[in-house]
Copies of this chain bind each other. A is one copy, B any other.
C-alpha cells in the first residue's frame, strides 16, 4: 500500500509539466546544472588548496557557488517567467493540452506569486538529496572512523549529544528571547511577534552541530583522533536529539499550551529520544547482520562488483528504512557503518574491501558538494526570507554562548571520570567548531507559516553560512594557536594505544560488550573467532553448528588476525602480517573500551601485565 502512496504523490505532481521536449530538456538541465556546480567547486577549491590556501573547504565552496547560481536565477526571473508563458502557448499548438489547471485557494498572502512556491520545491528536492547523498556521507564517516576510539569515547559522545544539545537548546532559546525583547524595546518588532516558544524552536533547530560540515572540516584538517571522534560522534548523535526536540516543541506550539513548562511532555521527549536512538541503532545493526551473513554464507566474494553493490545497497537501506519508519536515518547509518567496518569487512575479498571504501568515498565527496551547493542556491531563491539584523546578530552570539555553556561544564564533569582527559585546548576547539548546516536547514524549512518562523529559517541559513565559511576558515589557524596535533596518522596512534585493560573480568559493562562482541557476534557474523559450538550451551547445538565459522579459508584467517592490529582505515592497503608474538595470544582488540566509554582506556601501566599473561 505504501508503494501506491508513493506513486500517487508523484503522479499528481507531473500533470502540469509541458511537452516532452521541454520536460526532457529540463531533466537534463537540472542534472547538468548540479554537475557543473560540482565540477566548478571541486576544481576551484582544489586549486585554492594547491596554493596552500587552506581556508576554504568543499562545503563552503559548494555553498558559495550555489549562491551564485541563486543570484543568476533571481536576476533572470523575469525572463524565465516569460519563457514559461511562451511555452504554455506553444503547448496548445502541439495538441497537448495540459490535463490540469492549478487554482490557488491559499489564504496566505505570501504564497501567491509563482516563484514563492520554490520553497516547497526546496524542501522536496532537499528530501531527495538527503535520501540519496546523506547516507553515503555518514556511512563513510563511520566506516573510516577509528572504532576503538569511538567505543572508548562513547560515554562522552552520548553525554555531549544528549545533555549538551539540551543545554544548547535551552540556552539559545532563553538568550534569543532576551534579544526579541530588546527588538520590541527598540521598536524593531511588535510585542507578540516573537513568543518564547518561537525562540525555543529556534534553539532546538540550531542546537545540533552538523555532521556533514563537521566531517568536511575534520577531513581537511586531520586533527587529533580523540577530538575527531568526539566532534564527529557528537554531531551525528545530536541530530537525533535536535529532531526530537524540534518535533516536541512544534507539537507544543500547535496544541497552544504555549508558555507553561510541561514536565510530562519533557519526559515524553526524553523517552522519545531514547526510543529513536535505540530503534535506529537496531535498524542499523539489523542491516549489518543481513550483510554480514550474506557475505559470510555465500560465495559473493568471488565477484567484487556484486559484493560492493550489495554492501552499498544494504547500507543505504538502513538509512532509508529508519527514515521510512520514523526513526533517525543518520543514527541508523552511523551504527551500520561502524558495525559493517567491524564485522562485514572481515568477510569481503581484498578487492571488495578497497572498492567499497573507494565507492563510498566518491559518493560522500560528491554528495557533500551537491547538498551544500543546493543549500546555497536555496539561500538566495527561497522567497519568504525575513531579515532581522538584531535577531541574526543575536543568533550568532548565542551560538558561541550556548556552545560554551555546553562544552565547558560537561567536559569538567566528564574529566572527573576520564583517565584520558579532554584538555582545555580540545574544549576551546570544540566550542569553536559548532558548525551548523543541512540538518538545521531541513528542520527550519518545514514550517514557514508565520513571520517568526520565516525569520528562523533566514537566520538558520545565514548561521549555517557564517559557521561554515568563517569558522571553517578560522579552524586551521586556531588549531595552530591551540597547538593541537595535526596531520594525525591513525596507524601510529593506534600503536601507543594497543593492548591494555581487559584485566577487570566480565562483570563490568565493558566486559559484557567484549563477551558479546568477541564470543558471539564475531564468530556468528564472520569467519573469525572461536567456534560457536564451544561457547554456546548444548541446547543451542543446531544454531551453533549453522553459524560456526567452519569454512575459514587461509586468506580470511590471515585477515582476521591482521585486522586485530589495524584500523579499518587501512584495511585496504596490503600490510605486513602481525609478528608472531602478537598473533599468538588472545586478541586484545576488543578490550580497550575504557571505563564505560568515558575515555579511560590508555592505561599504559597495564600493558606489561597483558603481555606477561
Say if the beta carbon of A608 comes within 8 Å of chain B.
no
B28 pairs with A320, CB closer than 8 A: yes
Q: Could you name 7 residue pairs across A and B whose Cβ atoms are closer than 8 Å?
A: A3-B29, A11-B117, A11-B120, A17-B124, A28-B320, A35-B317, A101-B105
A366 pairs with B309, CB closer than 8 A: yes
A28: contacting residue among B76, B306, B329, B366, CB under 8 A? B329
- For A363, give the chain B residue with the smallest CB separation: B359
- For A93, give the chain B residue with the smallest CB separation: B254
Q: Which A residues from 124 to 149 make CB contacts under 8 A with B?
A: 124-125, 127-128, 130-132
Say if the beta carbon of A446 comes within 8 Å of chain B.
yes
Q: Whole-angstrom distance from the CB of A279 to the nearest CB of chain B?
A: 15
Additional 16 contacts, C-beta under 8 A, given A25-B324, A28-B324, A50-B299 = A4-B73, A5-B29, A7-B73, A10-B30, A11-B121, A12-B16, A14-B123, A24-B127, A28-B329, A31-B320, A35-B317, A42-B309, A97-B107, A313-B366, A358-B359, A359-B362
> Whole-angstrom distance between the alpha carbons of A479 and B14 in the complex?
45
- For A254, give the chain B residue with the smallest CB separation: B95
> Whole-angstrom distance between the alpha carbons of A115 and B1 in the complex?
14
> Whole-angstrom distance between the alpha carbons of A563 and B20 in the complex?
44
Segment with Cβ contacts to B, from A78-86, A186-194, A205-213, A500-508 = A78-86
How many copies of this chain?
A: 2
| Chain B residues with CB under 8 A of A124 | 10, 14, 17, 23, 27
Give A contacts to B, CB under 8 Å. Answer: 1-18, 20-33, 35-36, 38-39, 42-43, 46, 50, 69, 72-73, 76-77, 79-81, 83-84, 87, 94-95, 97, 99-108, 111, 114-115, 117-118, 120-121, 123-125, 127-128, 130-132, 254, 294, 299-300, 303, 305-306, 308-310, 312-314, 316-317, 320-321, 323-324, 326, 329, 355, 358-359, 361-362, 365-366, 381, 446-447, 449
A309 pairs with B120, CB closer than 8 A: no
The answer to whether residues A105 and B94 also contact, given A6-B29, A79-B1, A117-B12 and a CB cut-off of 8 A, is: no
The answer to whether residues A27 and B303 also contact, given A33-B3, A35-B320, A120-B14 and a CB cut-off of 8 A, is: no
A46 pairs with B300, CB closer than 8 A: yes
Q: Whole-angstrom distance from the CB of A354 to the nearest CB of chain B?
A: 9
A4: contacting residue among B9, B11, B76, B100, CB under 8 A? B76
